[in-house]
Chain A
Amino acid sequence: MQTLGRILPWLIVIAAIVPFAVNGDFTFHVAILIGIQALLALSIHLTLRVGQLSLAQAGFMGIGAYASALFTRDAGIPFLVGLACAAAIPALLAGLLGGIILRVRGVQFALLTFMLGEAIVLLFVEFVIPFGGNNGVMGIPPIALFGIPLDSRQQIYAFVILVLAVVYFASRTLLRGNPGIALRGIAGNEALAQSLGTDSLGWRRVVFAASAGIAGISGSLYAHYLGYISPEAFNITTTINALVMNVVGGTALLVGPLIGAILLVPLPELFRSAVLYQQLLYGLSLLLLVLFLPQGLGSILRRPRT
């Protein structure tokens, strides 16, 4: 826990300074994408904390993206309200479905959520009205606060970082305080925690709903930043990438998904010239990482306990 406190200020400083120091529109573009992907990775991280890997997170991200995009574009709802809907709708859906599907454990749960995610994407493809089918949704209004659109990437970046910080600290509060005791009890010894009065299913539902809400927020930011969304952006590949960020950064630390996003999101952009070898290098480095640093890069930062 002390480690988090030690690295976090540095991460914030780096996040605040680097894009401005390099000062190019492209740097801000990548930084915004890092923020959006970090949110999705964080949402997967929460499901891992209760020992249930959800592969539906990109689907929830899609629900957030479509909800926010359609509400603001077609119904003229302000962006911030759209963002709130983008969080609330997937959270509600996950909370309701969670009562049933969270009873399934292990690989079966991962497969079930994989199918859920794919089913959500299929809805976007098949229902041309209102989702636009394979063409997706275009002309999504930009991020605007109280009617004032954020027209530069610097401003959007600042907003994305703010949202990420709020979500991060909310997650940290959830994992640290009294809820954290219940969640660690469930993850550490579920039968014992239950025998002492912990509502295991209830807590896992709350975490699943929160994770879906965070994924929805990520989707909303994505939609309003790019101005265009299509179904394939929310398929299983997106979820797997976010999962890889967790593995690379470390699944035991809340900063793990952030570290993973910072490292992995820029990679395709940096290796554009070596596109032929990109996947190969990516796979090799992942293999080496899992072999030599199975706890993720975050584990380097964690000092051994005395």
Chain B
Amino acid sequence: MTSPQPQLVLENVSCHFGGIRAVNGVDLQLDTNDITGLVGPNGAGKTTLFNLITATIRAKSGRILFAGRNITGLTPDAVARLGLVRSFQSPMTLPGVTVREHLRQAALFQAIGRPSFLLRRRRIAAAEAQARRTADAVLDFARLAHVADEPADQLAYGVQKILGVAMAVAAGPRLLLADEPAAGLNGAETAEMERLLRAIHEELSIGVLVIEHDLPMVMRLCSHVIALAQGTVIADGRPHEVRGSRAFIEAYLGSEADAA
């Protein structure tokens, strides 16, 4: 644990939409050896924080560092190539493309993502072979082999969400950011998603940062929990510490907690 870890560090990061402070002076650190849970009521700024980390939106102030490198102001694709890859809250697919091809392309974008690859064509054959192997491996890993050759946009909602996380894995991340992976899934699908996230962490040694409303799942899965409310960090620590903290209870239950 003392070896140099690629760590994600946010320093006083803020983002305002008009007068609304969606994310307000957030400081946080997380280790890519952990599964970290990001929790908080609706509108707390969780997805905005994800968008800031993955550079989909720009921070108004503050710095974001990954593995000691300042990534503030990079483009989303550059952040992804550095190893910060996200999955989306609602399933994202390419129209008419099979599951296997989605995973192959996800694995290939690291090599062909920038047009400059046209100037280094020799490496492409190796990258293509590697992408095919990665796609096959991830198909098994995410238990998607039975739908490998079906068009992804025709799949059930839950399977598409599994595919979303699987694509992020195929892209070869160091830290995977999963935005509400279990939202909208039934019991069996939620269990499968939980298994997948745990396997990503334990078997592939990829760090995971997960936004999730399913608190019992967060408690089971995460070794580190960060709670947000109204754009600020209100609790940060081990799962039971966060759940037991007064600020966290108040944020979820409001003034009723005081009355109780």
**Residues in A lying within 8 Å of B, measured CB to CB:** 178-179, 181-182, 184-185, 188-189, 191-203, 205-206
Contact = CB atoms under 8 A, between A and B. Distances in A.
Contacts of B136: none
B252 interface: no
A199 B55 CA distance: 13
A196 B95 contact: no
Interface string B60-83: 000000000000000111101100
Nearest to B91: A192
A198 B111 CA distance: 9
Interface string B167-183: 11001000000000000
A182 B112 contact: yes
Contacts of B77: 194-195, 197-200
B113 A197 contact: yes
A188 B113 contact: no
A205 B100 CA distance: 29
Contact of B113 (A184, A189, A192, A199): A199
Contacts of A206: 115
Nearest to A305: B96
B109 A193 contact: yes
B230 interface: no
Contact of B76 (A178, A182, A189, A194): A194
A195 B78 CA distance: 9
Centre residue among A188, A192, A203, A206 by max chain B CB count within 10 A: A192
B20 interface: no
Interface in B88-142: 88, 92-95, 97, 105-106, 108-110, 112-118, 124, 128
B56 A198 contact: no
Contacts of A196: 80, 85, 105-106, 109-110, 113, 167-168, 171
B140 to A, nearest CB: 20
Given A178-B117, A184-B94, A188-B94, A195 B54 contact: yes
Nearest to B95: A188
Given A181-B108, A189-B93, A192-B167, 6 more contacts: A182-B113, A184-B94, A189-B94, A195-B80, A196-B113, A205-B115
Centre residue among A181, A189, A197 by max chain B CB count within 10 A: A197
Contacts of A199: 75, 77-78, 113-115
B92 A191 contact: yes
A61 to B, nearest CB: 24
11 contacts: A181-B112, A182-B115, A189-B93, A189-B94, A191-B56, A192-B92, A197-B80, A197-B85, A197-B109, A198-B77, A201-B75
Contacts of A201: 75
B105 to A, nearest CB: 5
Given A192-B88, A196-B80, A197-B77, A178 B115 contact: no
A195 B81 contact: no
B201 interface: no
A194 B171 CA distance: 11
Nearest to B164: A192
B80 to A, nearest CB: 4
Nearest to B81: A197
A202 B92 CA distance: 22
A32 B78 CA distance: 45
B161 interface: no
A178 B112 contact: yes
B46 interface: no
A182 B108 CA distance: 9
Nearest to B107: A196
A178 B92 CA distance: 21
Contacts of B106: 196
Contact of A191 (B88, B167, B171): B88
B104 to A, nearest CB: 9
B172 to A, nearest CB: 9
Centre residue among A181, A188, A196 by max chain B CB count within 10 A: A196
